[in-house]
Each structure stands twice: as structure tokens, then as C-alpha cells.
């Protein structure tokens, strides 16, 4: 699971901090809804010192979570009630953002899944990026992209990836 604390500026969101944590085997068995609540709960706990006494909106890429505070509490597990109670002490303003627009948080939630077993994997990655028509379009300015792409030279190799 992962999250990012952004400050909204006239130029767009500015990241202030990042949070990422691997789910325990038990947590991995939670429903998607409960995993999303856990992620929001954990991120607010992590950034608590920066969020206390400040109004903010919680952006999630799981639309059903936007109705979390409108549901009947009789249908909630004690864990879910406890987590929602904690979240409500900070905000009840939960807004939906489509997953494809929530790239940073989504990539942070998958950090533990990214592994390279060899230099060959990196070469394949570089080759795939070099032949990807959509990425070429972004780099050439033919496809609109609002993020920042940074070329990274891999240590001890001549491989460069984005």
C-alpha cells in the first residue's frame, strides 16, 4: 500500500512526502475495500504530524470509499469502524481520483513487487522502453503527458531507463 502527501499549488500538486508499506499476509486477504481503508488509515497515521489541525481532502482511487462515512455502521467490522473513526478525526472529505491519474500512490503500493533478477532484466526493460511507441510519442511531445520523466543511469552499467 502507498500514499503521497501533496500540497496543492497553482502549478499543480507538489509532493511533500511519500508512504509505502508492504501488506502482511493477513492484510493481503482483506477485501479491496478494506485494503483501501487500511491504506488511508496507515497514510494518515504516518503523516499525522503534518495533518493535525489542518483541513485536507483524502484522494482515493477506489470510488466506493468515497461513501465510507455514509454507510450503516451496523454493517462494519470492528476493525473497519476503528479505522474510519481514526480517519474521521482528521477528515471526512474523501474524493475519487481515477487510478491512472494516481500514478505515484499506485507505484508506491507496488514497490515490493518490483524486482530485477539480473542485468538481462534491465536490458530488456531498456529495450522495451526504446521500442514503445506510446513512450516515444510522449518523449517527442506528440502525446500529452503531465508527469515528469527522468532518465536514470543504472549503477555499474551502460543501461539508461526512465
Given this model, what pLDDT does residue 111 score? 44
Q: What is the pLDDT along the chain (162 residues), one digit of tens a residue?
A: 888 898 988 888 888 888 889 999 999 999 999 999 999 999 999 999 999 999 999 999 889 999 999 988 888 999 999 999 999 999 999 999 887 776 655 555 554 444 444 555 777 878 888 888 888 888 888 888 877 777 777 766 777 787
Q: Are 97 and 60 in contact (CB under 8 A)?
A: yes
Given this model, what pLDDT does residue 117 score? 47
Given this model, what pLDDT does residue 79 score? 97
Listed by start position, the domains of the chain span 2-110, 119-161
Cell numbers standing for residue 114 = 518490483
What number of other Cβ atoms are within 10 A of residue 92's Cβ?
Answer: 13
Dihedral over alpha carbons 111, 113, 118, 121 (to 10 degrees): -90
- Prediction pTM value: 0.64
**Residue in this structure with the C-alpha cell 507505484, named with its chain if needed:** 107
Given this model, what pLDDT does residue 98 score? 85
Cell numbers standing for residue 36 = 483501501
C-alpha to C-alpha distances, 129 to 20, 103, 145, nearest whole angstrom: 26, 18, 16
For the segment 22-69, what is each residue's pLDDT rounded down to a tens digit?
A: 999 999 999 999 999 999 999 999 999 999 999 999 999 889 999 999
Reference 109, options 54, 36, 41; nearest CA is 36
3-state secondary structure of 94: strand
Amino acid at each position: 500500500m502507498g500514499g503521497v502527501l501533496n500540497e496543492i499549488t497553482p502549478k499543480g500538486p507538489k509532493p511533500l512526502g511519500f508512504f509505502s508499506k508492504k501488506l502482511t499476509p493477513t492484510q493481503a486477504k482483506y477485501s479491496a475495500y478494506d485494503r483501501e481503508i487500511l491504506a488511508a488509515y496507515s497514510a494518515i497515521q504516518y503523516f499525522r504530524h503534518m495533518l493535525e489541525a489542518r483541513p485536507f481532502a483524502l484522494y482515493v482511487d477506489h470510488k466506493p470509499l468515497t461513501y465510507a462515512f455514509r454507510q450503516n455502521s451496523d454493517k462494519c467490522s470492528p476493525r473497519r469502524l476503528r479505522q474510519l473513526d481514526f480517519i474521521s478525526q482528521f477528515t471526512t472529505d474523501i474524493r475519487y481520483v481515477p487510478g491512472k491519474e494516481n500514478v505515484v500512490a499506485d507505484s508506491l503500493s507496488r514497490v515490493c513487487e518490483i524486482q530485477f533478477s539480473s542485468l538481462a532484466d534491465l536490458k530488456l526493460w531498456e529495450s522495451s522502453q526504446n521500442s514503445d511507441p506510446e513512450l516515444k510519442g510522449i518523449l517527442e511531445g506528440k502525446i500529452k503527458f503531465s508527469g515528469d520523466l527522468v532518465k536514470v543511469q543504472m549503477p555499474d552499467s551502460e543501461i539508461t531507463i526512465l
